[in-house]
Structure 1
Amino acid sequence: MNTWIIRILLAALALSLICVLGVSAWMVERFHASKPRQSGEVTLSVLDQSAHVVRDVNGIAHIFGDSDADVMAALGYVHASERFFQMDMARRYMRGELSALFGEDYLRADAQTRTYGFRRLTDEIVANTSADTRAMMQAYIDGVNARLAEGSVAPEYAVLRTAPEAWSLEDSAAIVVLLAHDLAAGASADMDRALLDDILSAEQLAQFTMNFPDWAPTMLKAEDMRARFGDVQTLPLSEPAQPGAQSDNQPGSNAWVVSGERSETGRPLLANDPHLGLSTPAIWYYVRLNLSYGPVIGGTVPGSPFVILGRNAHAAWGFTNTGFDVIDILERDRDAEEITTRTETIAIKGRSEAYELTIEETGDGPVLDPQWFDLRGFDEDAIVVRRSTVTAPGNRVADATLAIMQAQTFDEFVEAGRGWTAPMQNMHFASVDGTIGYTTAGLLPIRDERGEWTGFIPFDELPRVRNPEGGFIASGNNLVAGPDYPYPLPGSYATYRAPRIERELNARDRHTLESFANLQMDVTSEQALRLLPVLLGSEPESQLGAEALARLEAWDGALDMDAPEALIYSAWLRVLSGAIWNDELDTLASAFNQPRRAFLEEVLAGEASAWCDDVRTDAVESCAITAGLALDAAMAETADAFGRDMNAWRWGDMHVADFDHPFDNLPLIGSMFGNRVPVPGDGATINVAHFSYASGSYDVFHAASLRSIYDLSDLNNSLYMFAPGQSGHPLSPHHGDLAPRWAAGEYFEIRDDWSVETAPEGSQVLTLTPQ
């Protein structure tokens, strides 16, 4: 009897092993079948003539064709080959169709995006697109779908046991809307204010949600605004539209441009590094498109055919987020509103019946259902409405982006933005003719004294400057303009990167590519330099605390990877921030467990020192006492995690950029998908590296998504970098090859002075031929 049981168990084990091996073999075959074609020849019926995709040693795609339509079709084919799962996830998010793929856990996300009405907006964008732009987009889409028709488009579909749907014009429009949605500011400030109104006094609320500090520089200078607008009095800022808080957790970026008088070459230099969430694959896909009007080189977003950040043969441009408040969360009386309803059906994996979602809408925008949105702090008897420029009609951003790609002069660059509604961006420009400039485009609301929108700032009066008096324009997501600009600019703004950028730009008379590269990688914290004189007066009580304070006395404020000071400082600020405001916020403390950098300085060195007192005790704690106790606690926590020997602490061991992927936690194969690399800096340094206060780790989730430096004396000298790599396929050599180089501050060139026949050594050529 026992022998038979053993035989049955062995047979079951053998069968299980065979099944595992069979599934593994099938998975390996599917993974290899979906690898992007790098060389050889592929027949594409959507082409009129042959096109060539030359991938250089970094995996960057240089695309050649006899017509612009063929170049765009080839780009679509390449995007789908390298990044289609990424494209599909973005599309599903914007459509509200994640539940159909991943199950009920994603119903909340689907209900939110459906409430916003993004799918209807993509239809409007397509309808607004000109015939020429639509033709380019359609050629791109034909290329995407040609790759889908070949099958085995991405390894993720083998894991999910599903196949993707065809791509459409509306899907490409959804990629544009996704960027606008991700970058638009205003909603979180209104939500925060609703939570805080009942627990903070008016003075405390003003301090905690403080405006951009007076000492920090604006991007556009007073003399340039006066030259344009004369002596004006800024329109009053209505109370409901006051800025919500510093943009410590808003998407950010750096960009700066200097004139020829400020460069060694006698021609402008322009640098740009947009800060976005880190992911595998990267948000951007670098290309060189050889078009009828010349080469266009830079970052595309897979799913869309346009170079969003880059250069052509005549000019270069870079963007940062304005931070302007373009979203309001409003309380309305239901009985006073004219409300319409629409119903949408959401398919859910694992459920036989779809979910019927009913959405209410007012003239201002959709009603937010508390079933799907966190509406704590709002009046339960009112309805909460979301008003946003992101979903405003008339969006012609596709035409605007194509016009930017073709712009040769600053006037053409400015005019290209006339059809742009969202997202509002700081747009830096430099031309080979020596012109530098700045403009923005989009809908920026004008509010009355009640906070109601009365219109938008006219396009011709939006912030703008050409060849400024100081010879440079620098943005670190700081306030765009001060009182010499005639309109108020409510929004969320960063404080500490801009003054550091300006100081370094002014530290030398003329700049070079090397000085710009050094500045992009700068990790000396302006915040640390301003706070250290106060922090060094703290009163720790533990031996570890005293040792840590002694180390910081000789620290230069640089958050390097190879030393302990950056860890000491970062751990201290995380604990100190909670010590300052958790007692006042009480049960809401977890909702605000994040950096509030300018407010922290106002507490420690300004007029808000009363926050240092712990209101839960009878004693009145000074900032020196509170900071000292926070240092003791932070060092005890750090020692428990990393040992008591501070000499062994390294910021780079704990501070790691995490390029995550939806599958990177899967057993056995998860490690194939994600990428991780140690990095210096923090959320206030020019080389940005945000980590979460709430997570308990120092993993970086938000940093420079790409870096570019343009030399207008010879655009082929321009420098580029991004991470983790060009390909989204885990078996590609370009899946994560750039991450260590990105972290180390390296760059590469993307030149336009070679052809298919003269491609550099190491390049791979894929020929696409018509049927």
Structure 2
Amino acid sequence: MPADTTRRGVLAGALAAGIGGLTLTGARELLEQFAPLSGRAWNAADRTLSESVESPHGEATVRVDDDGVPHVEADDEAAAYFAVGYVQAFDRLFQLDLQRRVMRGQLSELVGDATLEDDEFHVRMAFAEAAEATWEHIVGTPAGALVEAYADGVNEAIEREPLPLEFELLGYEPREWTPVDSMLMEKQISWDLTGNFGELRRELVADRLGEELAETLYPERLDHDTPILRDAVDADRLEGGDSDSGDETGSETGNSDGSNDAVDAVGSELASWLSRFESPTGVGSNSWVVSGEHTASGAPIVAYDPHLTLMTPPLWYEQHVETLETSVRGATFPGVPFVISGANESGTWSFTNVGADVLDCYRYEIDADGERYRYAGEWREFETSERELAVAGDENRTITLRRTVHGPVLEREQRTVGVAWTGHTATRTTEAIYEFGRSGGLEDLLEATRRFDLPTQNLVYADTDGRTLYYATGKLPVRTVDGEAVSGNRVFDGSAGEGEWEGFTPFGESSWDGFVPFEEKPHAIDPDVLATANQRVVDDPEHYVGVAYASPYRGARIYDQLDERVASGEATDPEFHRDLQSDTRDGRADQFVPELLEALEAHEADDGLEDAAATLDGWDRRMDRNSAGALVFARWVDHVRRLTLEPQFGDANLDESYYPGDWEIATLPDDSDLYVDRSRAETMVEALMEALEEIDDEGWDVYGDWNTTRTIEHPFGAEAPFLDYDERPLDGSRATVNNYRVESAVGSSWRMVVEPGGDATAVLPGGNSGDYFSAHYDDQFERWIDNDQKPMDRTSDGDVTVTFTEGSS
């Protein structure tokens, strides 16, 4: 991106062009809210942090280093987190405000009726009320006091500092930040990682395409031998925990009575609407740990890169907080006071998504008037309330909210389901994350993990004592039907009380009685080598965990590379682990390419197909930006998937959101019912012809011509394109360790390699500041593309940027 002076020139050009000059889409509802000719945008051009700020919580200093990372230092924790709130707000205030508007269902108040359906969903799911219940639980704790200090800091920055450019463009000012808003960020993070309505889609696929095909396309267990807790993982367990033995309970699917009532209750309109608000497709992450036995320094090493939505500015914010209690540096989400993934003086921790099933849907018998539902042998009134949705430039809308004993009711086209989600109750994760930063070793970390209720995550940890740890965090529901434990991969009969979670209280404080005990959740204490990449946790879990696991490509590749290095006897170092994070070998090619080449041999090929076959045959199967083979393979795989599924899915009125993953397509048998009009081999050849035609039409030569950063956008980038980062070619695919999915803008949203007490590095996909005019708006973007990580030191020798003095704000 250009330097600051050039940025002003870019903005000036856009403003001189007026509204029409900014219009790249038909989103008039949003554009009408821009005020580019008012001159207010210039108020944001010269924002700098105040040098001195009064704080009601006491003295603190902030040093902003050469990478835009604030180093906050204070004797008192409250003083430190007031300063954290202040600098987060200065750097990311628009992001904070936009996130809470999404979760509170208040987007339409800004942009008009274009976002009404989004607001309706978030209001019906009552995320804000769940955040209020969590705050009521947290408010009296040590963590709660710091959340309040953080909110004070945010509000002082709102009051004192010039607003960022986005507020000036839209012509509005943010409301006061509250502690509940920070709890709401916890709910947003958790929903983005665990919100899944897969059972609704599966029910529809089974109804329209048949149960046998549904079982093939959506298996509860993928046929591979690389779980996280594989047999080779040698580790200890807590007493009472037997996380890698026993039979997986509840593997059967469908309703207990074999009826099709669930499909009748769901309907395609409801399922399709809810699919829009699920966890983004492909959200996952990599993390792994090796013990000091296999490192050059003798200390363990943790490598981590979470694959979440890539955006401008980045999803994560990096900070360092130094108090008398601890020194912790790492990444958090704007709006959250504490470091979520990072390191302190004792250890380092990271999280990847488990893919656990923590959301259930319930169908009900409803009376003819639609006012009551059957439950526990009696008719009950729906709990109802009214909510007004504000709409800019239009009349406000009023919607009626309904609830059952299980939680919110979601409705479309006279189809109704009740929803239970573990995030709908008071949770203690904020306490856990706070305590992680203060932990002094593995025992402290384990005790904090007991309070990590939400979301379900693969925790990977190592410390300066040489200890290592893996633990599946979060509450795992135990469902029963007629007294037998079952999986949650179905729509339950809510009227009959099927699948209920004992002790769960929506929008209150739960006892969690009907959940897997902490000691019985999958875990490993002091594993030698362990890798997570969202693959299934264990082959035969004692308790049902879920079915929304990733294909094993990344997990298998990471384990293969770690195993090979360990077997060689050569020690690893941080550079080895950074190189592994950059690995682009695509495991799909090992499945698909030999089969395609065989199909081409039997086909009467023209010169174009022969050239493509030669390219693929000589390709190293790495998804590198300058590779012609990677381009052909990437476009061909997508066409294979479409040609395999589209005919029957289209006839059944099921769009791409219902498509299974690449592993399921790669392992389909030749005689699958999906190959009716043409054979699997013919499908592969036709897909190659279509891919080559597309490549020729677009003028692409190498993978990086198609696989670019173009989809990494600012929320208003389409209307104000200067806010986006420059477009660059990228390595990686959705199946490689170096993970990037160009279609959905999902990839490595933060990279970190830490040797506790030693070398520590990290990089963001952009910059730490969300201020377009800041030198730190995009200064890490090119480094992120090449995984050129910067030091993650817990020190800063620079000059003090801001001094916080004792006083009333």
TM-score range, shorter chain: 0.7 to 0.9
Distance 2:19 2:145 in 1: 49
**Equivalent residue for 1:464, pick from 514, 523, 532:** 523
Amino acid in the other structure paired with 1:533: P
Following superposition of structure 1 onto structure 2, how do residues 134-283 of structure 1 map, counting pairs within 5 Å? 134-187=144-197, 189-222=198-231, 229=242, 232-240=245-253, 249-283=281-315
Alignment identity in percent? 27
Distance 1:461 1:104 in 2: 48
* Alignment match, 1:562: 626
**Equivalent residue for 1:702, pick from 717, 734, 746:** 746
Distance 1:85 1:206 in 2: 44
Amino acid in the other structure paired with 1:655: N
* Alignment match, 1:486: 542
Following superposition of structure 1 onto structure 2, how do residues 294-693 of structure 1 map, counting pairs within 5 Å? 294-334=326-366, 335-337=373-375, 338=380, 339-351=382-394, 353-370=395-412, 383-391=416-424, 393-449=425-481, 452-454=499-501, 455-468=514-527, 471-483=528-540, 485-494=541-550, 495-509=552-566, 510-539=571-600, 541-587=605-651, 588-592=653-657, 596-603=661-668, 607=669, 609-611=671-673, 613=675, 615=676, 617=677, 621-642=678-699, 649-657=701-709, 658-666=711-719, 669-692=720-743
Distance 1:745 1:460 in 2: 37
Amino acid in the other structure paired with 1:475: T
> Unmatched 5+ residue regions in structure 1?
1-15, 372-379, 644-648, 693-699
Amino acid in the other structure paired with 2:750: L
TM, length-normalised to structure 2: 0.83
**Equivalent residues of 1:317, 1:427 under 8 A apart:** yes
Distance 2:682 2:250 in 1: 38
Q: CA deviation at 1:18?
A: 12
Structure 1 residues 17 and 261, CA, compared in 2 at 3 Å: closer, same or farther? closer
* Alignment match, 2:75: 66
- Once the two structures are superposed, residues 51-107 of structure 1 have per-residue CA deviations (whole angstroms, 9 ceiling, x without a partner) of 221111111111112321111111111011010000001111111111111111111
Structure 1 residues 253 and 25, CA, compared in 2 at 3 Å: closer, same or farther? same
Q: CA deviation at 1:538?
A: 2.1
Distance 2:116 2:208 in 1: 32
Worse-matched range after superposition: 53-62 or 165-174: 53-62
Structure 1 residues 226 and 248, CA, compared in 2 at 3 Å: closer, same or farther? farther
Distance 1:319 1:24 in 2: 45
Distance 2:405 2:154 in 1: 38
| Secondary structure of residue in 1 paired with 2:790 | coil
Counting matched residue pairs gives 706
Q: CA deviation at 1:415?
A: 1.6
**Equivalent residues of 1:724, 1:739 under 8 A apart:** yes
Amino acid in the other structure paired with 1:385: G
**Equivalent residues of 1:238, 1:447 under 8 A apart:** no
* Alignment match, 1:377: none
- Once the two structures are superposed, residues 330-375 of structure 1 have per-residue CA deviations (whole angstroms, 9 ceiling, x without a partner) of 3222241432112112111112x4321111111112111206xxxx
- Once the two structures are superposed, residues 293-316 of structure 1 have per-residue CA deviations (whole angstroms, 9 ceiling, x without a partner) of 221010021111010000110010
| Secondary structure of residue in 2 paired with 1:357 | strand
Q: CA deviation at 1:255?
A: 0.3
**Equivalent residues of 1:68, 1:291 under 8 A apart:** yes
**Equivalent residues of 1:184, 1:390 under 8 A apart:** no
**Equivalent residues of 2:55, 2:79 under 8 A apart:** no
- Once the two structures are superposed, residues 162-181 of structure 1 have per-residue CA deviations (whole angstroms, 9 ceiling, x without a partner) of 11111001111111110011
CA RMSD of aligned residues (A): 2.6
| Secondary structure of residue in 2 paired with 1:448 | strand
Distance 1:209 1:19 in 2: 47
**Equivalent residues of 1:561, 1:651 under 8 A apart:** yes
Q: CA deviation at 1:28?
A: 4.7
Structure 1 residues 259 and 582, CA, compared in 2 at 3 Å: closer, same or farther? same
**Equivalent residues of 1:578, 1:593 under 8 A apart:** no
Distance 2:525 2:714 in 1: 42
Q: CA deviation at 1:248?
A: 9.3
* Alignment match, 2:88: 79
* Alignment match, 1:4: none
Tell me if 1:722 matches 2:755: no
**Equivalent residues of 2:105, 2:122 under 8 A apart:** yes
- Once the two structures are superposed, residues 471-495 of structure 1 have per-residue CA deviations (whole angstroms, 9 ceiling, x without a partner) of 1110010101121x31122221112
- Once the two structures are superposed, residues 430-484 of structure 1 have per-residue CA deviations (whole angstroms, 9 ceiling, x without a partner) of 010000011122211112256513521112211111013xx1110010101121x
Distance 2:694 2:741 in 1: 20
Distance 2:767 2:531 in 1: 28
Structure 1 residues 594 and 55, CA, compared in 2 at 3 Å: closer, same or farther? farther
Tell me if 1:54 matches 2:63: yes
**Equivalent residues of 1:241, 1:447 under 8 A apart:** no
| Secondary structure of residue in 2 paired with 1:272 | strand
Amino acid in the other structure paired with 2:544: P
Distance 1:231 1:105 in 2: 48
Worse-matched range after superposition: 210-219 or 59-68: 210-219
Amino acid in the other structure paired with 1:729: D
| Secondary structure of residue in 1 paired with 2:412 | coil
TM, length-normalised to structure 1: 0.87
Amino acid in the other structure paired with 1:654: W
Q: CA deviation at 1:202?
A: 1.9
Structure 1 residues 241 and 152, CA, compared in 2 at 3 Å: closer, same or farther? farther
Amino acid in the other structure paired with 1:690: R
Amino acid in the other structure paired with 2:783: R
Structure 1 residues 19 and 719, CA, compared in 2 at 3 Å: closer, same or farther? closer
Q: CA deviation at 1:326?
A: 1.0
Amino acid in the other structure paired with 2:352: T
> Unmatched 5+ residue regions in structure 2?
1-15, 22-34, 256-270, 367-372, 489-498, 502-513
Amino acid in the other structure paired with 1:306: F
